[in-house]
Amino acid sequence: MTIHELDTPALIVELDILERNLAGMAAYADKHGLRLRPHTKTHKSVAIARRQLALGAAGLTVAKPGEAEVMAAAEPPELLVAYPTIGARKLARLAEIAKRTRLNVALDSMEAAQALSAALVAAKAEAGVLTEADVGLHRVGVTGAHALAQLIEVVQRLPNLVWDGIAFYPGHIKSLDEDGLAQIESLSETVAALADRFLPRIVSGGSTPTWAHSHRIRGLNEIRPGTYVFNDRNSVHIGSCEWEDCAASILTTVVSTAQPGQVIVDGGSKTFSSDRMVDGASGFGAIPEDWSAEFHKMNEEHGFIKTERRWRIGDRIRIIPNHICVAVNLHERVFGVRGETVEEAWGVDARGKLQ
Amino acid sequence: MTIHELDTPALIVELDILERNLAGMAAYADKHGLRLRPHTKTHKSVAIARRQLALGAAGLTVAKPGEAEVMAAAEPPELLVAYPTIGARKLARLAEIAKRTRLNVALDSMEAAQALSAALVAAKAEAGVLTEADVGLHRVGVTGAHALAQLIEVVQRLPNLVWDGIAFYPGHIKSLDEDGLAQIESLSETVAALADRFLPRIVSGGSTPTWAHSHRIRGLNEIRPGTYVFNDRNSVHIGSCEWEDCAASILTTVVSTAQPGQVIVDGGSKTFSSDRMVDGASGFGAIPEDWSAEFHKMNEEHGFIKTERRWRIGDRIRIIPNHICVAVNLHERVFGVRGETVEEAWGVDARGKLQ
């Protein structure tokens, strides 16, 4: 089958680029002695998780119990739920997973630790805990070494929990310009101080934007990038990769040229998501075949593109989305291509696993 | 089961309000002699489509062939694909549906009409065509009566097509203030002129924001509102309903209170979508239990809420999303509730049917 035969909009992944991205991150982690525990939120696919593990990943990362249930099928040596799991039913589900898979859970409150411990005791299971520290995003995570010490103490005393280390997420670092590099420097001091004080087995942090600087963060020994497998318009914009590292794009079809200077393609917010650029730049995607075109507006199923080029009805336009993680979650299937050949297709197994 | 037992984030629909919204629109259409052909993009559920038909709807509306395949199961008297269908495979799928269901297809180009006709001839099937006119949104639709006359003539000459009338979408009217009402007045003149000139069987238009003014648009005889079943923060904001008409909300759980003055809930852009308000107002949802709270930021699985109230970890917060149509499409299931009782659950059958 060729890409010309695909019904659009279709999420396509260039396998050559995907494989280079997977191998590149594995080599980086290996070179610097970092554990690589990729966040599967980007691809949500067991098939890709297996490829990450085959390349030496120490485990996998998920956010929700529903994702953990799906990703357990990839048989990761360690599975990290990098999200505070709250609620008795969800904790019981995690405890079930913990019977079969070595589980780590990140959390930032005494309440979360106590409830997790109770669920594990009831299921006769154990789990590792990463206590979450806020390092500047002000999202989750306790603030300061004193609060972290208290939380670690709580975890160490609770039954069926093993304190495995510290997690953080430097999502406040959104660029790799001078300011971004200064933020990484400051982050390194914070992390080193925590590592020196608490001597954790795991110090897990990093994100795709900052991944190539992870070895400069003293004390850090685990990274969990997600977006690097596919990359997107944001990744290029912030300087974490080049256009030729973007493996994923959405193949659309021109469905109307009724308005002069504009084409309508068959994908909108239900195909790309309505995520804007992290730095506020305009537009909803990049069009490598027509760089000056502006994908400036969308409705649910319509993409509005201003262009000088005379596209015709039925023409196919490939668009690199702003944010690939939310776009993948909108698709039932992903098509792996080399050149114009569709070599394989895989399901987005954890799509919509919100709970 | 009660709502307290649901794993969150959960999309819940208050059945009393849903039923009132369904009955209200049916009564309005009936009173004014308008055909009601609800757009199923909002709920994407066969169960709700059946309720709309049971209340007298003349048919159903979809955008994509994949949605048409799903909604054919509700056995609508007429199924409208209100979107230009381009591509041989998709047209062959539509032609298959046309063998069993009376199909209308909206289109705005000679190319689309010719390709549809060819697919229908090959399948030995027929379909009705609504020629699409642009009335101000500048999305799809031909401009002006002359271009419309040409397109109608093409459709009338092509085999296996029946010209059934005119479609338009007044999506440029986004408010019901003085300006919005003036736009409706001007729309009425445009539509009346087309109806008088071409004498179509069907003149199909309208959207949820303008629905209650549809009877004032002379010549219009069919409406296809979608959002009215559930409503959302935008619907209230533009004045097309009140808060008590919002049937759908997303039940979330507070998962972190680590930052003072802020709570983190377990839903972000993968739960609500990142759709902004149509008029640029800030925020990603309304919180009826805490009106002054600001749902000001989200990541994929985190909602950031600034609040004075002392919510605790594990508390449930119900949030009315900005745009319910894109939010529903992110969920696997919807829970129908009365008070605190979960009475039923239904699947989002056409979720992700992008092709």
What ipTM goes with this model? 0.96
Looking at the DSSP assignment, which residues form a beta bridge with residue B295? B305
Is the separation of the CB atoms in B206 and B37 below 8 Å?
no
Q: Could you give the angle at the alpha carbon of B194 between the alpha carbons of B68 and B134, nearest 5°?
A: 55
Q: Does B141 touch chain A (CB under 8 A)?
A: yes
- pLDDT tens profile B189-247: 999 999 999 999 999 997 777 888 899 999 999 999 999 999 999 999 998 999 999 99
Q: Which residue has the tokens 């609500």?
A: B272
Looking at the DSSP assignment, which residues form a beta bridge with residue B127? B161
Residue B124: Cβ within 10 Å count = 10
- Prior bond to A200 cis, omega within 30? no
Mean pLDDT score, B55-74: 98
DSSP collapsed to 3 states, A269-322: HHHHCCCCCCCCCCCCEECCCCCCCEEEEECCCCEEEECCCCCCCCCEEEEEEC
Looking at the DSSP assignment, which residues form a beta bridge with residue B132? B167
- pLDDT tens profile A162-216: 999 999 998 888 888 888 888 888 888 999 999 999 999 999 997 777 888 899 9
Is the separation of the CB atoms in B205 and B220 below 8 Å?
yes
Q: What is the pLDDT of residue A177?
A: 85
Binned at pLDDT 50, 70 and 90, residue B171 comes out as confident
Residue A25 CA, distance from chain mean position:
14
The answer to whether the Cβ–Cβ distance between B140 and A258 falls below 8 Å is yes
- Prior bond to B9 cis, omega within 30? yes
Looking at the DSSP assignment, which residues form a beta bridge with residue B205? B223
Q: What is the pLDDT of residue B211?
A: 85
For A215, phi then psi, to 5°, come to: -70, -15
Binned at pLDDT 50, 70 and 90, residue A279 comes out as confident
The answer to whether the Cβ–Cβ distance between A86 and B7 falls below 8 Å is no
The answer to whether the Cβ–Cβ distance between B87 and A325 falls below 8 Å is no
Interface of A with B in 207-236 (CB under 8 A): none
Is the separation of the CB atoms in A203 and A187 below 8 Å?
no
- pLDDT tens profile A32-69: 999 999 999 999 999 999 999 999 999 999 999 999 99
Record the tokens describing residue B54, joined without a space: 């049971």
The answer to whether the Cβ–Cβ distance between A354 and B330 falls below 8 Å is yes
Record the tokens describing residue B156, joined without a space: 């009338």
Q: Which residue has the tokens 């308005």?
A: A259
Q: What is the pLDDT of residue A145?
A: 92
Is the separation of the CB atoms in A59 and A79 below 8 Å?
yes
Q: What chain A residue is nearest to B263 in terms of C-alpha separation?
A: A139
Q: Which amino acid is at A230?
A: F
The answer to whether the Cβ–Cβ distance between A140 and B299 falls below 8 Å is no
- pLDDT tens profile B15-25: 999 999 999 99
Q: How far apart are CA B292 and CA A288, in angstroms?
A: 44
Helix (H) or strand (E) holding B251: strand B248-256
Helix, strand, or coil (residue B65):
helix
| CA distance to A74, A76, A141, A162, A163, per residue, from A103 (Å) | 14, 9, 19, 10, 12
Tell me the pairing of strands A341-347 and A127-132.
unpaired
Determine the distance in angstroms separating the CA of B138 from the nearest CA of chain A, rounded to an integer.
Answer: 7
Determine the distance in angstroms separating the CA of B274 from the nearest CA of chain A, rounded to an integer.
Answer: 5
Q: Does A14 touch chain B (CB under 8 A)?
A: no
Q: How far apart are CA B11 and CA A238, in angstroms?
A: 34
Mean pLDDT score, B163-175: 90
Interface contacts (A, B; CB < 8 Å): 180
B263 or A208, which is more confident: B263
- pLDDT tens profile B76-96: 999 999 999 999 999 999 999
Q: How far apart are CA B101 and CA B38, in angstroms?
A: 16
Q: How far apart are CA A201 and CA A184, in angstroms?
A: 22
Chain A CB contacts of B8 below 8 Å: 87, 355
Mean pLDDT score, B260-288: 96
Residue A107: Cβ within 10 Å count = 30
Helix, strand, or coil (residue A166):
strand
Is the separation of the CB atoms in A354 and B270 below 8 Å?
yes
Q: Does A8 touch chain B (CB under 8 A)?
A: yes
Tell whether the model's pLDDT for residue A155 goes beyond 90: yes
Chain B CB contacts of A141 below 8 Å: 256, 258
Chain B CB contacts of A262 below 8 Å: 138
Is the separation of the CB atoms in B249 and B324 below 8 Å?
no
Residue in B111, B264, B354 closest to A9 by CB: B354
Determine the distance in angstroms separating the CA of B330 from the nearest CA of chain A, rounded to an integer.
Answer: 6
Is the separation of the CB atoms in A133 and A111 below 8 Å?
no
The answer to whether the Cβ–Cβ distance between A330 and B314 falls below 8 Å is no
Q: Does B63 touch chain A (CB under 8 A)?
A: yes
Longest dimension (CA), chain A: 69
Record the tokens describing residue B117, joined without a space: 């006709």
Q: What chain A residue is nearest to B7 in terms of C-alpha separation?
A: A355
Report the candidate in B314, B267, B335 with the shortest Cα–Cα distance to residue B295.
B267
Average pLDDT, chain B: 95
Q: What is the pLDDT of residue B321?
A: 98
The answer to whether the Cβ–Cβ distance between B273 and A274 falls below 8 Å is yes
Q: How far apart are CA A211 and CA A348, in angstroms?
A: 25
Q: Which residues contact A148 (CB under 8 A, 6 or more apart)?
A: A131, A133, A142, A166, A194, A198
Work out the burial of residue A339: count CB atoms within 10 Å of its CB; fewer than 13 is exposed, 13-18 middle, 19 or more buried. exposed
Please, what sign has the CA dihedral across residues A254, B60, B30, B208?
negative
Is the separation of the CB atoms in B131 and B107 below 8 Å?
yes
Is the separation of the CB atoms in B168 and B138 below 8 Å?
no
The answer to whether the Cβ–Cβ distance between B354 and A140 falls below 8 Å is no
Chain A CB contacts of B265 below 8 Å: none
- pLDDT tens profile B288-339: 999 999 999 999 999 999 999 999 999 999 999 999 999 999 999 999 999 9
pTM of the model: 0.96
The answer to whether the Cβ–Cβ distance between A326 and B63 falls below 8 Å is no
Binned at pLDDT 50, 70 and 90, residue A92 comes out as very high
Of A167-181, A254-268, B278-292, the one with minimum mean pLDDT is A167-181
Looking at the DSSP assignment, which residues form a beta bridge with residue B12? B249, B335
Tell me the pairing of strands B222-223 and B248-256.
unpaired
Q: How far apart are CA B23 and CA B30, in angstroms?
A: 10
Q: How far apart are CA A192 and CA A168, in angstroms?
A: 12
Determine the distance in angstroms separating the CA of B69 from the nearest CA of chain A, rounded to an integer.
Answer: 14
